[in-house]
Amino acid sequence: MKFIISSSTLLKQLTSVSGVIATNPLVPILENFLFEIEKEKLTITASDLQTTIITTINVESKESGNVCVPAKILLDTLRNLPEQPVTFSIDESSYVITIRSNNGNYKLSGENATDFPKVPAIKNASKVDVTSELLTKALANTIFATSTEDLRPAMTGVYFQLNETNLTFVSTDGHRLVRYRRVDVASDSASSIIVPRKALSLLKNSLPSENAPVTMEFNQSNAFFEFNSTKLICRLIDERYPEYENVIPLDNPNVLTINRLDLLNCLKRISIYANKTTHQVRLKMSGSELQVSAEDLDFSNEANERLVCEFLGEDMEIGFNAKFLLEMLSNLESETIAINMSVPSKAGLISPVESNKNEDILMLVMPVMLNSYA
């Protein structure tokens, strides 16, 4: 088996799928890429058993066949080669792969392609069409708030909720919650799935920068995303998602409206002085003034700033984890944001003042118990 391809083209495609390969996979064959040649097309597959990414590129070839190629050594070789056509020759009896370039020849040991796990088929699937732009924005707004604790597996993924009027994406780690809703996408029937964080991070990194159609299919066990020449298949989290709507407070008479970047930059400075365990910052609101402060009693560090804002409601003080606020404000795009609150012991709701008419973004953050300093 033999084919010719541009070194940079191959490297780009391999890099886009290599993120799925685990450092020490349970099955050694998964340290390889699966190469399949047919009709001048090279199909590359990478997998960790939970998630599989497949991409297809054109090559010069008159043959067909398959082989497993060691991922690390191939990537390292291509990264250090200048742009040029490279020729791959595979001995189908010994699985030895020879790479010929203008610089020289490289020989590496492949493996039998039949040992590579089969890609799960999507049967009895529900289907919805979205755009890469919509999906990129939804994932950027939700992935960061998923949990990293395996004790609560449902929270380690993003909850996709489809119905006849909208598509909703939800993530939470118990301390914060994000609900991103699009009303320009809908489904004929109501359904919901939980997609793992790793698969969605890989998907987000693989989505094209230019807007492109994405087909999303899913059944009870797997989700399937297809765009351009790439496919991603992942196993779903088979758990019940928390009743997230129940934790969103409905009565929030105190509303802080402020420039997002002003608050974001202020928090970046103030958080330097916060306690390194709690990351607590204090927000004190009164009329048209917001005072942001932090103190680390262990090191006698403290900082405070004043910002101009609009505040409707009774004067109040509330504590938040600065890391959570920074992540939320960094992912929003609106020039102005509103924080809706009730009392210092209940969650604050962050939402953009200006937004796309087709989207609804709600970010909930739990408060931190305030220290006793004045």
What's the confidence (pLDDT) of residue 374?
42
**Distance from C-alpha of 205 to C-alpha of 157, rounded to nearest angstrom:** 16
What's the confidence (pLDDT) of residue 372?
55
Which phi and psi angles does 356 have, rounded to 5°? -60, 135
What's the predicted TM-score (pTM) here? 0.92
- Angle separating helix axes 132-142 and 197-206, nearest 10 degrees: 140
**Close Cβ partners of 139 (under 8 Å, ≥ 6 residues apart):** 158, 169, 200, 201, 203, 204
Residue with tokens 């709701």: 349
Asked if 262 contacts 269 with a C-beta cutoff of 8 angstroms, the reply is no
pLDDT in tens, 249-301: 999 999 999 999 999 999 999 999 999 999 999 999 998 999 999 999 888 99
Which pair of tokens denotes residue 266?
A: 């202020």
Other beta carbons less than 10 A from residue 84's beta carbon: 11
Q: What percent of the chain has pLDDT over 90?
A: 90
* pLDDT at residue 373 is higher than 50: no
pLDDT in tens, 152-194: 999 999 999 999 999 999 999 999 999 999 999 988 889 999 9
* pLDDT at residue 207 is higher than 90: yes
3-state secondary structure 196-257: EHHHHHHHHHHCCCCCCEEEEEECCCEEEEEECCEEEEEECCCCCCCCHHHHCCCCCCEEEE
What's the confidence (pLDDT) of residue 298?
86
Give the burial string for 297-315 (b: 16+ CB within 10 Å, else e).
Answer: eeeeeebebebebebeeee
List domains and CATH numbers for the chain: 2-115 (3.10.150.10), 126-245 (3.10.150.10), 248-365 (3.10.150.10)
* pLDDT at residue 305 is higher than 70: yes
Closest CA to 194 of 150, 226, 241, 233: 241
| Three-state secondary-structure class, residue 72 | helix
**Distance from C-alpha of 64 to C-alpha of 36, rounded to nearest angstrom:** 7
Q: What percent of the chain has pLDDT over 70?
A: 99
* pLDDT at residue 115 is higher than 50: yes
**Distance from C-alpha of 357 to C-alpha of 276, rounded to nearest angstrom:** 39
What's the confidence (pLDDT) of residue 310?
96
Segment among 112-126, 148-162, 165-179, 227-241 with least mean pLDDT = 112-126
pLDDT in tens, 314-371: 999 999 999 999 999 999 999 999 999 999 999 999 999 998 889 999 999 999 987 6
